[in-house]
Every structure is written in structure tokens, then in C-alpha cells.
A and B are shown apart, each in its own frame.
Chain A
Amino acid sequence: MKTLQELHKIREEKRKELELRVNTKTDTREKHILVCHGTGCTSSKSPQILENFKKIIKEKNIQNVRVIKTGCFGLCAKGPIVIIRPEDTFYANCTPEDCEEIIQSHIIEGKIVERLLAKDIDGSKVKSLDELSFYKKQMRIALKNCGIINPENIDEYIAFDGYRALERVLKEMFPEEVIDIIKKSGLRGRGGAGFPTGKKWELTRQSDGIQKYVVCNADEGDPGAFMDRSILEGDPHSVLEAMAIAGYSIGANKGFIYVRAEYPIAVQRLKIAIKQAEDYGILGKNIFDTDFCFDIEIRLGAGAFVCGEETALLESIEGKRGQPRVKPPYPAQSGLWGKPTLINNVETYANITQIILKGAEWFSSIGTENSKGTKVFALGGNVNNIGLVEVPMGTTLREIVYDIGGGIPNGRDFKAAQTGGPSGGCIPKEHLDTPIDYESLKTIGSMMGSGGLIVMDDTKCMVSLAKFYLQFTVSESCGKCTPCRIGTKRMLEILEKLCSGEGEELDIYKLEKLAVNIQKSSICGLGQSAPNPVISTLKYFRDEFRQHAIAKECRALECKAMAKIAIDPEKCKGCGLCQKHCPVNAISGEGREKRTIDQEKCIKCGTCLASCPFHAIGN
């Protein structure tokens, strides 16, 4: 147990010690080598890098250098990432073998290891993190501590204002005041639907009942999304603190974090964080000598996507089969074990402490009219800078894809971006300049979702894309209600037909009829949004569907069953590269002759397409 005075002292002393983490001009002889320990870097051996650093430092008896594990820096494509502070040198794609050189050159000799510096989009090497264009348009609120503090050390969290918001709330504010600030901030749920967070808190507070619960939805399941995971891995205390604030505000003394078991690092760090907070007396009985008591328990999900739906999540916490409940009643009225329950997702909670400390006006000054603050996106797909980005609401898709994401690799064209995962939709080229917020995404047929953002280049077939998302929904449907259980399966079957060249025009109408009715009649958000990828691709790429159905062709050549790959004699220069690469010897021609493909032998693998320097091969 720590008294408030002791906590203040820790904050003061630790903050001084960690000044070099955030200030390149810090006057110190110390150096901190920060090694990313997010899931991506961890699987690329960052723990071994950390160990190697420690070993070498010990062997060489180097003073004043500390090696720190941190959460995700965001630029996962360049991982494992090593950053040396205070000078903020950014080393990309490090291996355990590079440690020796970094220590010898950078630490001992004071020379930057040029070959390990990250390259920016234009190919120039950048010396520090802030110089990377990837970070220039970003604004970090939810991710503010990620990559800066050691997530397994509560003192480092405390050093950067940690648990100051909770202290202020408990010591100086009535619950209604807290709710009022959250309402005024304009914060909306970051899990997908964007329900106003303050309103949700207020409704839960107003519900009758002595026993209430606070739940954190950390069941992030969209394919390619890792926003919540990164927050939990990089800054778990910010979520605990926000949950305690929420508990105080709505009148709950118990919180549950529902996190998927496939996030072992996040789970481990949460466990450590809860233990540390309990040891300090920040969770438990009579927090900060007030009447407020609050405990947090972790509940592990087994990986069912539907358990990210709030009522299915509640069922799962109760130990039942993860299936949604019909709403209303909403969890705020009848949630866990029938008690009023506040349920927010990780990223929503990660904004709370900042709003309390910096004020509602500060937060609401960021973003657009109806969508305040920032949003974290997991940027992936055909984009140069794959990683985690946090941008103010209202940033355009173009800025994210081109300025932050560094554009499309291999000089290809942008075709579409998928937001909102399997519940969202596709945004085509013509909407690249749409400012991203809840309403505008909805208007163009997609949704914010939890923040997955997958970029696709012009080699992607949109019918196949719709099929991919339907495959996901079909295997993740819980099976409770008819439209989702059977309807999505039928949609997938039609898409499979189209992709295999067995479709017909009527199938497109059938798809639409199913889509509309599944949307309207399913019980939960999963079923209601399952047709979105089909509806939005049909909206913007209907011609592609018609080509598949009527002409039986897939211009993107992704649907192998109907691809007829041919060489355009106009463009062929007879270089023979395609012939050399063809695995089944289907291409004939000698010397400088124009090459031809034997359709009988061709297996439509597409190798020749990729190998042709003159783009002479296609449908």
C-alpha cells in the first residue's frame, strides 16, 4: 500500500528520471535503449534483442545505459524497432545480431549505425522517430504512453500523470461532474457504433440497482485489427484507471476485462498491472482513503468473434455460450447477471484519463463537429507503412493512405480501402478525400468499426473480397438467429458461385435481397452488419459483379477458375522472362519471338503476370 504522499513522491522522482524519454534536449549522461515488445516485434525476436543488449552492457560494464521494454511504436512494418533516447534514434528491422554493433558504435563510439536507420517513403534515411512522415500527421491520445513507458512498471505510468485523473475524480469531483465532463468532451464509443460515451455512463448511473458492473470489451476480433491489443500491451494502466473512474461515476465496485486468450502478452501485462495497482492500493478497498472500492477481474474469451458483441460478451462472462441477447433491454438497464452494466471498449477507456486531466474543451476541440478526439487505426494491406496510427477525427483517407501509410507498394493504384472489418464496407477511390468520422463513413456505406483499415490495390477482385469477409462472418456466426446462421451461408455460396464462374445475373439480385433482409432481421450487430461488405462492394463495384456473373471474367485475375491469361502481342517484347518463370511450361516461343500461352497447360498461377516487365500479360 502506498499513501497519496508516497505516490506523489514516486511521480515526482520518476518523472525526472524519465524526462529523457520525451525530451531530446534532456541534459543527461544516461541513455535508454527502448525495445518494442508489442506482439509483432515480439514474434520477430525483440525479447532476444532485449536480452542481448542487457548481456553486452553487462559484459562491457557500460554505465548509465538502461534497456527498457515498451509497447508498440506503431510502425510495425519496420519492426523489431529499437529507439535510443534521449536522442531519439530510430533503428528499424533490428535482429539480435545487431545489438553488438549498436552498442559498440552508437553507445560507445557515439556513431549512428547508418545501415539500421529507418528509411522514409522517399527512400531517405531518417535519424529520429519524429522525422518519419509516418508520425507527422498523427496525434497520440489513446496511444500516448505506448512506446514511451515500460508497461510492466507502474511507476513509469505514474511518472507520466498516471492515476492523477483517478485521484482528482475521487478527491474533487461528484460522479455527476465526471459524467458531465465525458459528455461535454463529445467522446463516442470506439468499438464500432459510436454511441456517446457520456450518455452511456449517465444511463447506467441512472439505472436502478445497488450492484452495477463496469466491463471493458477487449475482445478485438476484426481481421487485421490490433488497436486494443497495442493499448493493452503498451499502456494497461490507462485502461484500469479509466475503469475505476467509470466505476466511481456509475456506482460500481466491480469491473471485468473481457480479453481474448489469443492476446497472451496483453493478458500477461494486464495481470501484472492489476497486481501492481492492488499492491499500491489503487485498486481494492477505500481507494485513496475514500469510500470508493473497486476491483478488476480478467475474463478470457476463447476467440469467438461474436463475443465482441456486448450482450454475447456478457453471456460469455456469465459462463454461458457466447450468444447475443435481444436488445432492448440494453446492458445499461440489464447487463451482467441482470444488473446495470457499463460496457466500453479499450480505446474508449484509453481516452478517459486525458479528458479528465486536460478537460472536455481540449478534447472537443479535436476532430469534427460530431466526432471528437482521435481514432486509432490498424493500417494494413497494400500500403507501404503497415502499422498502428492515431489521427484526429476528420483526417482524410488520402492522408492516412498516402501521407502516413506511404502509398501503395510497387507503384500500383489504389482501388479501395476497407474500414470496419467484416462489419464495414469498402471505400473506393472517389471517396479518398472524405474526412473520416462516424457519420461520413456511414454516408458512404462503410463504418468506423473498431479501426481496422485495409488498403487494396488494383490487383484485388472485389467479389473475392466480399467472399473473404462473408467467409469470416459465416464461420463466426454464433448460429442463434436464422438470418445470420443460414442467410450469410447462402450469401457466401452465391459469392462462391460468382467467383468460380458459375454465377448468373439473377445471383446479384439474390445477394441483394438476402443482404437487405439479413441486415434488418438479425438479432445482433454481427448479423445486422454481415452483409455490409457485399452491399458496399455492390454499390461501388457492381460492374465487377456483372463481369463475374455474365461475362464470366475476373479482370483482377484473382478468381482463378475463370481467369484466361493471355499475352498481348502488341506489348510483348519477347524477352522470355514469363517463359522462364512459368512452373508448368505453358508458354512457348523462341528467341525474340512473341510468347503465347497454352490455355490447356496453364494453371492460372499468375507467376507470368508478376514477371512481365512490360505489363503485357493479362486477361
Chain B
Amino acid sequence: MEKNLINLTIDDQKVTVPEGTTILNAAKQVGIDIPTLCFLKDINEVGDCRMCIVEVEGRRGFATSCIQTVEEGMVVHTHTPNVLEARHVILDLIISNHAKDCLTCTRSGNCELQALATKFNVLNVEFPGEMTKHKIDDLSPSIVRDFNKCILCRRCVAACKNVQQIGAIDCINRGFESCISTFGDNSLNDVNCTFCGQCIEACPTGALHEKETINDVWVKLKDPDAYVIVQTAPAVRVALGEEFGMPIGTNVKGKMITALKRLGFDKVFDTNTGADFTIMEEATEFIERFKENDNLPMITSCSPGWVKFIEMNYPELLPHLSSCKSPHQMFGAICKTYFAEKQNIDPKKIYMVSVMPCIAKKFESKRPEMENDGLRNVDNVITTRELARMIKQANIEFEKLEDSQFDDPMEEATGAGAIFGTTGGVMEAALRTAQDILSGKDLEKIDFKQVRNSKGIKRATVNIAGKDLNVVIASGLANARKILEEIKEGKADYQFVEIMACPGGCIMGGGQPIKSSKIRSELDIRKLRSNALYTIDEKSVIRKSHENPTLQKIYKEYLGKPGGHLAHKLLHSAKGDGLFWHDYKNK
């Protein structure tokens, strides 16, 4: 149904917008950017902070422009002296209870509060007073919470409670004592947090950030005894450029590789190759399970936030999970075995660094089962943001770098590996391989566009090798929960499920560049980054994982058959056996 159009005036500009549009969005139409702080499009539209207040003629008090909708003939003023004074007071009050240590804050320069303070030229705090004091929680391997910087916008709460439906954090206490905390005021490490990191992406200030581990990398890079290998996830290359001012969705793979080489890594490899391994193993596992109708639907296991989620919330459904390790863990295992053997390097000296769009992978790399023969598969996980910091600290002018290629002997990766970084990508990659294996042919049908849209849950029936296969793709844990409930209730009529913890997949992971509320309102970041991945796939010569020559060589020379004994030892974990996170912690 067509929506009625509403005419109104904002700061003397006439504007016509559909009924139901907020004053904030109507103002955008005529180039008026009303300041906001707690507002985060589609996620937190509550009007808590009061920065967005405007005057509406004939109305008592101010209107909350981020949630209140337009009315016919409305006359709005966004910067009257009254509004400006109130906004100044509000901003002053927020700053009065904020740790003003911008120089030592990870978000300095990318802080929405700082930007507002600059815009309103806050030179001193007019209403200083007592500040709430909070202990910093840095016990988890993934997230650091410093609530002395929290401004109680509750964007993190909305991301956790509404988007992900986890509810690990919420507001406790009242009034001035209000703060965001967990059940029982415990560390995030001890509650139902999945470490997806969507809270970090939502935070306008430095109250939430990843646990930084780049110092260990610097030390290893200078250690002559260490053989330091780095691998980069598919989603990193389409987001890293943003940290250097490039447009969202720019593929900076070549520059990234050059930068990593300049940083001094002994080898720069591509996690996409790891993804190809995952597809080989996962597709093989699926075909086996499909033939024997063993614990179907099978669910993917490459998103560690998702794995922690099912372990904590649906342990009874763990047998549905694929036993595959995630791509970077598989690749780490290959590097410390096959590669070490080939290159004649003592695997004990190899220090494996993964650059990931994800902070749950920091946690994953510390899981007990992620090792072989006493060696950790991956030694350190850093995020896209941390890599950008390393590049800057190494005084590299990223924009000016030439392109380079990934190192031998594992430089080849397929388009299938690339699309792992977006929701639906793992499914599509797996289907490409599964259909060829099942049919025994090299089929030309490559694109499964029915799994490529932006919906949180995508259902499709695909015909592979003459058989109809029902598949479901879910991204975001709220959607994952819906699928698991269906499986639990016995309503699931599908065979293969892809789940990623972050809404939109790894490209929108908790380790990716943080975008302001304004950018998130104006641009479809998910689409821009995922388009870049699909372009990489399209331009790839090889687009099916099982056709990756490196892979074929390694299976032939070293691993044997996909799903075989050695492959199982190195590339699969015990996750599917019903052990879950609490058990590991108690060990």
C-alpha cells in the first residue's frame, strides 16, 4: 500500500516525506544533520540521550526527532537558541560523567562523543561533579569493557538483546548509578556472552573494545628464532581500506599483502585457502551424513560465536554441528604440519597469526581442542582494526603501497573461499563442491543466487545431482535461535544449514572497522562489503574449492582423502561430541 505523503517545514526548508518517517530522517532529505548519540538505525531507536531534540511549533517541550514521526504541516526548528542551549547542557552533562582521557583511548578520532564535543566546541565542563566509577573488565579473551567511558546510550544492549537476542548485558541500578552490566555483575567471561562483538561495533565511545594482542605479534616479529606466519580472512581485505579513509567495500588485498610483508611476516597466506579446506571437509562430511541420514540437518561450524551460542543454549543439538574446525584453524594446522615438513621448519618455531574480522576467534584460538601434537593451531588472532593499527605504527603509508601476491606455496585460493566472508557464502561454496562430487561432473552451474540476498534467514531448495536439497542460511544469533527452535521441535525439513553469528556474516564481524551511527544510517555497509567479495569470486579463475590445485596437491601428497584419518585429526574438532564451553573451562 502506498503511504500517504506528509508535507512539513524543517528550518524553513519544505520537505515531503512518506507518513511514518521520523523527523530526523525527514531532515536528512533536505541536508539537515540533526545530532544524535544513542540513535543507531534499526537497532536502538529509543530517544534516551536527548541530543536529537528539536522544537516543533505549537508543541510543549521538545520533540525527540530520532523516533517521533512527521505530521502534516509540522514546523520544525533544529537550532533555536533554546534547543542549542539544551543540547549544550545535555552534552555537558554526558561529558561530566565520562572519563575524559581521549589521548589514551582506542576510539580517539572515531568517537561519536568526541565528534559532538568538537562540533559544539565544548571548552570546559560547566557542570562538573561526581563521576561513577567502574572496574575495567578485561578477563575475557575477546572483549574489554571500560564503563568509565560508557554514556549509557544502550546501543550495545540493543545489539545484544534485540539484534542477537542474547541479553548478556543490560542496564542495572537506577538513576545516576545506572550502568550496563551482566547477570550478577560478573565478567563477560563468566556469562552467556558469545563474543560476537556486535556491542563493540555499536558503541559510540571507547567503553567497549577488543582485547588487543598486537604487542605479542611485534615481539615475535623481532624474534629471530620465530617463524611468523600470517593469514588473513576473506572479509578483512574488503574492510581494511576503510581504516585508511578508502570507500567502504574497497578490495585492498594487494596493498594488505604488501603491508604484511613490510611488517616482517615470514609468510603471508590467505585464509581463503583454509576456507577451501573447510569446504572439502564440510562437503564431504555432508555427503556422508546426507547419504546415511545422520543427524540432519547438518549445521556449519566456522563461526566461533555461533558455536559458543549453540554450546551454551542448545547443547542437545550439538550432534547437528559439523565437526569441521573453522578455516583459519584448519589452515593453522596445515601450516604447522604439511608446510613445516615441506619447508623443513621446526613446527615449534612457527608462530601463526590470524587477521580476522572477528573477536570470537580470539576466544576460539584459546579453546583446548584447537591444537595438534601439543602445538596450538593458531597462536594469535588480531582483528582488522588491530592490523590497521600495526600498519600505522610501522609508519607505512598504506594508500601508496603497490600490490603483492600471497606467498608460495599456498597462494592459490578460489572464489568459493572468498565468499566465505558473507552470509550465504559458505553454503554456496559447499553446494558448488557437493554437486560436483555427487554428480561426478564439473558442473557449470556455479552461482546460487537464491542464497545471496540480505535477509537474516534465507531458505532455498536447490537441485544438486538430481536431488532436491532444502537449505537454510541464517545470520545473526536471533535468527539462529529461530532455526534451532525449528530443529528442536522437529519441524525442520531441511538438510543443510549455514549459520553465522554476526548479522550479515563475517564482513559485519565484531573486529571490523567501526562505523558511526551516521554512516550506518546512510550506507548499506553489509551490501558494499559483500558485493566486493562477490566481485572477487566472479573474477576468480577457479571458483570451486575442490579445484584448488594447492589443495589437490596437499590432499594427494599429505592428507589423503577428504574426511580421511589424517584430515580428521588435523581439520576436525571434538565439538560435535557434546562437550561444551563450560566443560572446557572446568578442565
A residues touching B (Cβ–Cβ < 8 Å)?
Answer: 304, 321, 326, 328, 474-490, 493, 510, 513-514, 517-518, 520-523, 528
Contact = CB atoms under 8 A, between A and B. Distances in A.
B62 A520 contact: yes
Given A326-B68, A477-B175, A479-B173, A487 B48 contact: no
A510 B89 CA distance: 11
Contacts of B82: 520
Contacts of A486: 93-94, 96-97, 176
B126 interface: yes
Given A490-B127, A521-B62, A474 B175 contact: yes
A599 B381 CA distance: 68
B47 A517 contact: no
A304 B178 CA distance: 14
B96 A483 contact: no
Interface in B34-64: 46-50, 53, 61-62, 64
B66 to A, nearest CB: 9
B474 to A, nearest CB: 26
A130 to B, nearest CB: 45
A21 B86 CA distance: 58
Given A478-B174, A482-B152, 6 more contacts: A326-B68, A477-B175, A481-B49, A482-B49, A483-B89, A489-B129
Given A482-B90, A490-B93, A475 B48 contact: no
A328 B68 contact: yes
A514 B48 CA distance: 18
A528 B86 CA distance: 13
Interface of B: 46-50, 53, 61-62, 64, 67-68, 82, 85-86, 89-90, 93-94, 96-97, 126-127, 129-130, 152, 170-171, 173-178
A484 B67 CA distance: 19
Contacts of A490: 93, 96, 127, 129
A480 B126 CA distance: 22
Contacts of B173: 479
* B67, B97, B129, B171 — most chain A CB neighbours (10 Å): B129
A493 B176 CA distance: 12
A487 B94 CA distance: 9
A510 B68 contact: no
A91 B126 CA distance: 59
B129 A528 contact: no
Contacts of A477: 174-176
B285 to A, nearest CB: 43
A483 B93 contact: yes
25 contacts: A321-B170, A326-B68, A328-B68, A475-B174, A476-B175, A477-B175, A478-B175, A479-B152, A479-B173, A479-B176, A479-B178, A480-B46, A480-B178, A484-B175, A486-B96, A487-B127, A489-B130, A489-B176, A493-B130, A514-B89, A517-B85, A518-B89, A521-B50, A521-B61, A521-B62
Contacts of A321: 170-171
Nearest to B61: A520
Contact of B174 (A304, A481, A518, A528): A304
Contact of A326 (B64, B126, B170, B175): B64
Nearest to B174: A479
Contacts of B178: 478-480, 485
A485 B129 CA distance: 13
Interface of A is mostly: helix
A522 B61 CA distance: 9
Contacts of A483: 50, 89-90, 93
A158 to B, nearest CB: 43
Contact of A510 (B50, B90, B94, B127): B127
A452 to B, nearest CB: 21
Please name the 5 residue pairs, one residue from A and one from B, whose CB atoms are nearest each other, closest first: A479-B178, A477-B175, A486-B93, A517-B89, A489-B176
Nearest to B151: A482
B258 to A, nearest CB: 46
Contacts of A523: 47-48, 50, 64
B134 to A, nearest CB: 14
Contact of B176 (A304, A474, A514, A522): A474
Nearest to A326: B47
Contacts of A485: 152, 175-176, 178
Nearest to A306: B174
Nearest to A528: B61
Contacts of A510: 126-127
Contacts of B47: 326, 481, 523
A200 B174 CA distance: 31
Nearest to B95: A486
A482 B173 CA distance: 15
A237 to B, nearest CB: 35
B339 to A, nearest CB: 53
Contacts of B61: 520-521, 528
A166 B49 CA distance: 46
A240 B129 CA distance: 48
Contacts of B130: 489, 493
A304 B175 CA distance: 11
* B49, B53, B86 — most chain A CB neighbours (10 Å): B86
Contacts of B50: 481-483, 521-523
Contacts of B93: 482-483, 486-487, 490
Contacts of A493: 129-130
Nearest to B71: A328
A520 B67 contact: no
Nearest to B90: A482
B124 to A, nearest CB: 13
Contacts of B48: 480-482, 523
